[in-house]
Amino acid sequence: MASLKEVKGRIASVNSTRKITSAMKMVASAKLHKAQAAIESMLPYERRLHHILTDFMSNCTEVTSPFIVKREVKKVAVVVFASNTSLCGGFNANVIRHLVDLLAEYKPLGLENILVFPVGKKVADAVRKLGFRIEGDFQHMADKPSYQEAADLAADLMKRFEKTYDIRIVIQNKSLHDYKCSGKCRVSDGVDFILQVLQRSTRFTFSRSDDNTIIYIK
């Protein structure tokens, strides 16, 4: 049984730890309020931008883009944002809980058809434990996010989407009608890369339509 002196020592140790954690809590709270203020200051801009885009889309008689075509969902990309460290309340836990629910909804598609882009160490660790493949390291974006990095990530997602969905090939070069070849390629390589490889063995050119849904081989 612990002596009275040992008990008093433990109480003092707990009190000292409480002071440290209290100070850390205050620092984390100040950072959280600063981030919250920054987000709230962007809300008027977001509302105005949404209004402008809504007006623009409503006034356009016809818009063609592979990104607005309704299709059966066969492959998904999930971009999830969390933090690299703790001391932010239930933020990480809530994000991970919603992520688990979302991935469970898409799991029937197969793990190979679910691409996860985790921004933040905490959520990246959670994705690994769940058994899903991570599509890159984006931890730096959680600490100091920038517009350019977000734009680069969005551009990468759009490029991957265009490589995978709804590309129709129209062969206008009659000399290629009887052309046959075989080989292996990765979906991530994209149609353009594969056609460039084929150009090494036969003569043809190719171009895309304005909406990027058709490739003409000439």
Minimal CA–CA distance to 143: which of 170, 120, 111? 120
Inter-residue long-range contacts of 204-209, CB under 8 Å, 24+ positions, other chains counted: 204/173, 204/176
- Single out the catalytic residue among 60, 88, 181, 185: 88
Long-range contacts of 202-209 (CB under 8 A, 24+ apart): 202/176, 204/173, 204/176
Q: Cα–Cα–Cα angle for 29, 151, 111, nearest 5°?
A: 85
What whole-number distance in Å separates Cα of residue 7 and Cα of residue 10?
A: 5
Q: Catalytic annotation on 181?
A: no
Alpha-carbon gap, residue 20 to 6, rounded angstroms: 21
Residue type, 77: A
Residues with catalytic function: 88
